[in-house]
A = this chain, B = another copy of it.
Amino acid sequence: MPGSTPTVADVGEFGVIGRLRQRFGTQGFGVVRGIGDDTAALQVTPGCLLLATTDAAVEGVHFLRTSTTPRLLGQRILAVNLSDVAAMGGIPRWALVSLSLPEDTPLHFVDELASGLEQEAKEFQVAIVGGNLARSPERLVLDLTLLGEVEADRVVYRTGARPGDRLMVTGTLGDAAAGLAILVGQAPPDIPGTSFLVSRQRLPTPRIEAGRAIARSGLATAMIDLSDGLASDVVHLVEDSHLGAVVLAEAVPLSPQIRELSTAMGRDPLDWALHGGEDYELLLTAPPERVDDLIAAVGAVGLPLTDVGEVLAAPGIWLQRPDGRREPLGAAAWQHFARQDVTGEA
C-alpha cells in the first residue's frame, strides 16, 4: 500500500537479517568469524576465563512499546547483561541477539532497536557476533547472550564473603525505583531531578569500569550486581555461605535527586534504596582493612564506593537504625513495589 509504514512482512525474514548483518558486521576483538557462518568463532585471551550470561525482555512484561523507545530497548537489554559481566570483574566482548517479533512490526522499529544495540555495543566495545530471527505472533521477545572474559586470578564470585567483611556499594541506590514511580504516575513529575531518576530507570549504566578496577585490585572477596534491590541481593551474596549481614540505614548512599523527591512526597527514600531494584550498581565485600584502597580504586574511575554494613557469622539480614536498633531486612515485606521485571537470573 503506497504511503503505509513498511513492516517486517514487507521485506521478509531474510530482508531483516540482511539489514542486521550489514549493521553488525564481522569485526571486533577476538572475532575470527562473526555473523554469517554456522557459529561465531572467537579467540578467548589466554589466561582468561570465559564469562557467559543471558537475559530477556518480553513485550508487555518487561516493556511496553508505548513507554519506551526501540533504541532504549536495544541499549537496555545489552546494559543489564553488561551489569552481570561487571559483577564478575569482567571485560565484555561478544553478544548474540535472538529477536522474535510480529510480522507487522515496523521496519523502523527494528532499525531503531538495532541502533540501540549498536550504540551500547560500541560504547562498551562489544561485538555482536550472532543471533536468530523468528516470528512471534503477538509480542516482541528480545533475548541477549553476552560473553566476556576475565583474568582467571582476578575473577570475583558471589561466594567468598567472610564474617567481619564490610559490605560496599557503588553509586547511589533507589534511583531506578524512584524513576519507575515517576513513570507510573505515583510520583509528581515536576520536581527538579526527575529526569535524572527516570533516566536511571530507563537505561542503567553498567559498572564495567568499576568492576574492572575492583577485580584488578584483588581486594574484594565477593561481588554481585544490584538487580533486585539491596535487601534481596545481599541475601544472594551471603546465603550460599550460610552467613548473615547488617546494613546501616544511615550509610546507604542516596542521590540528591531521590532525597528531593522523597521530601516532596513525604516518604522515606530508604524504601526505594533497599527494595526498589534495577539500580545495577555493584555490591561487594572485603575485609575492613581493604576498604580505603577499594574506595580509592573505584574513585579512580569516577564513582563513589560506600561502606554500608558488615557480613555476620550468623544467618539473618538486618537493618540497623542510627540508634543501634536492628530490625529484620525482609525482602518479602516490600511486595508493594510491583516489579515490572520478573526475570530471575539477571
Residues of A whose CB lies within 8 Å of any CB of B are 13-14, 16-17, 32-33, 35-44, 46, 49-56, 58, 60-62, 84-85, 87-88, 90, 94, 96, 98, 100, 129-139, 141, 143, 145-148, 150, 152, 155, 157-159, 223-225, 240, 342-346
Given contacts A58-B136, A158-B37, A158-B38, whether A17 and B345 have CB atoms under 8 Å apart is yes
A130 contacts B53, CB within 8 Å?
A: yes
Given A54-B96, A131-B54, answer yes or no on A41-B46 (Cβ-Cβ < 8 Å).
no
Contact B343 A133 (CB under 8 A): yes
Closest residue to A93 on the B side, CB-wise? B50
Interface residue from B38, B50, B132, B345 paired with A41 (Cβ < 8 Å) = B50
Task: Give the copy number.
Answer: 2
Quick check: A135 and B53 within 8 Å, CB to CB?
A: no
Complex CA distance for A49 and B136, rounded to whole angstroms: 33
Q: Point out the residues of chain B lying under 8 angstroms from A62, CB to CB.
A: 134
CB-based contact A344/B39 at 8 Å: no
Q: In the complex, A346 Cα to B139 Cα: how many Å?
A: 21
B residues near A35, Cβ cutoff 8 Å: 345
Minimum CB–CB distance from A159 to chain B (whole Å) comes to 8
Closest to A81 in B: B39
Q: Report chain B residues within 8 Å CB of A143.
A: 54, 56, 98, 132, 141, 143
* Max chain B C-beta neighbours (<10 A), residue from A62, A134, A146, A148: A134
Given A38-B84, A137-B61, A137-B139, the answer on whether A132 and B56 have CB atoms closer than 8 Å is: yes
A53→B39 contact, CB < 8 A: yes
Question: Can you sample 24 A-B contacts with CB below 8 Å?
Answer: A17-B344, A32-B155, A33-B157, A38-B88, A38-B224, A39-B52, A40-B53, A41-B50, A41-B155, A52-B94, A52-B145, A54-B98, A55-B98, A56-B100, A56-B132, A58-B100, A62-B134, A96-B145, A98-B98, A130-B345, A132-B345, A136-B139, A137-B139, A141-B141
